[in-house]
Amino acid sequence: MTIATGTPQWPVEGLARVPYWVYSDPDLYRREQDRIFRGATWSFLCLEAELPAPNTYRRSTLGDLPVVVARDEHGTIHAFENRCAHRGSLLCLDERGEARKIVCVYHNWTYDLAGNLIGVAFRRGIGGKGGLPDDCRPDQHGPRKLRVETLAGLVFGTLSAETPALEAYVGGEIAARIRRVMRAPVKLLGSYSQMLSSNWKLYLENVRDSYHASLLHAFFTTFRLNRLSQKGGVVVSETGGNHVTYSMAAADAGQEYEQAGMRAARQGFRLQAPELLESVDEFGDGIGVQILTVFPGFVLQQIRNSLAVRRIVPQGRTRTELAWTCFGFASDDEKMTELRLRQANLIGPAGYVSMEDGAAPEFVQRAAQAAPELLSVVEMGGRGTASDNNRITEAAVRGFWKDYRRHMGL
């Protein structure tokens, strides 16, 4: 099936079709940065635990816009553009740190932890010579400041005054699922990042796609950690942009995968370290896997006892950074911390499960960019975005495109 030539238009089939040009059109990428990431959305910036004390900061992003997130001397969290008012240099070069003020390395212009310009080197010159004119107002060109709100220890930011309050933006049911995981003060366990050779939207589609999880990820199915025949479901927000996919931890005794001869249904495999599969039901609800997203680029993960946040950072049309931060709770004992660290082998760039999620979007990117006039078929579970009590559905993927089209005016 093809779409009309000329100015790209969304296909008449609506959410059940996605045009391949959305993954490689250069003008579209620039519009996304303006309308989505710098528009009326909330972007995840960091965990509150990453700002552990007053006068601490860390770098983050708002789409491809570099950002500084800081906790000032009073404990208030601020976020502002990582850009000096003078010549546009990055203000913060270190990933994180402690400071009472931020000094630009280029010409030593100085800012407080709210992003206010508080000092200009040699502003009055020397001996009456040089310096800035008396009517120069460099602070009027300072870094843009973000609105900041927190939810259960998660820090979000937006440049738009029109973005609804964070909890209203997320939606009550999704917020409850966030609080389910973020139920106590957090203890950081580690972080890493990987570069994906694909458009940022392909990874967001992937984490919303419950249909692929036990087909692509042979480890899930082989060791019966996550199969579509296990009880579970998909929750999609009213806007479509936020979602939860979950499955119960109870072992699946069915033979559907084996009888169908699926690649992922491998038998006879054993682990030399079977303790990797050990877990405890720490949330008391029997859910073994929960993947949650908030539009445009936030992922909250619970895979057994492996907890992490993921931040999607667009780096161009066909390049995306995926930043992971693994965490536990401050109340965890040594045994639970060891369990979480062991299960962290499931995730990340080389994870037994997550490794394939870095490759699959690239496979799509490589093929789809050669066929911009064609469409993908997104009809698993129907053509709508309603929540469902099964996972053989692409409702959450269609939900992503519903919210995307709203922000982009497509």
Flag whether 73 is in a domain.
yes
Residue 367 and residue 228 share a domain: yes
Q: What's the CATH code of the domain at 251?
A: 3.90.380.10
Flag whether 293 is in a domain.
yes
Residue 110 and residue 201 share a domain: no
Q: What's the CATH code of the domain at 101?
A: 2.102.10.10
**Which of 149, 164, 192 is the C-terminal boundary of a domain?**
149
Cα torsion 343, 349, 355, 358: sign: positive
Flag whether 35 is in a domain.
no
Residue 341 and residue 298 share a domain: yes
Residue 141 and residue 283 share a domain: no
Residue 273's domain spans which residues? 173-408
Residue 211 and residue 127 share a domain: no
Residue 237 and residue 142 share a domain: no
Question: Which among 40, 110, 31, 112 is positioned nearest to 76, based on CA atoms?
Answer: 112
Residue 192 and residue 129 share a domain: no
State how many domains the chain has.
Answer: 2
pLDDT at 3 (0 to 100):
44
Residue 186 and residue 57 share a domain: no
Alpha carbon distance 392, 377 (integer Å): 15
Taking a C-beta distance cutoff of 8 angstroms, is the pair 376, 18 a contact? yes
Per-residue CA distances from 227 to 177, 203, 218, 230, 299 (Å): 21, 21, 10, 6, 21
Flag whether 6 is in a domain.
no
Question: Which among 155, 156, 158, 154 is positioned nearest to 146, based on CA atoms?
Answer: 158
Q: Which residues contact 309 (CB under 8 A, 6 or more apart)?
A: 44, 47, 154, 298, 299, 300, 301, 324, 325, 327
Q: What is the pLDDT of residues 51-103, one digit of tens each?
A: 999 999 999 999 999 999 999 999 999 999 999 999 999 999 999 999 999 99
Residue 206 and residue 112 share a domain: no
Flag whether 25 is in a domain.
no
DSSP-derived 3-state class of residue 111: strand
What are the 10-residue block averages of pLDDT along the chain, 410 residues in total?
58 95 95 97 98 98 97 98 96 97 96 96 90 90 95 98 98 98 97 96 94 70 66 94 90 53 62 82 94 98 96 96 98 97 88 82 94 94 93 94 97
Residue 179 and residue 139 share a domain: no
pLDDT at 323 (0 to 100):
97
Residue 151's CB is within 10 A of a number of other CB atoms, namely 19
Flag whether 1 is in a domain.
no
Flag whether 204 is in a domain.
yes
Residue 364 and residue 287 share a domain: yes
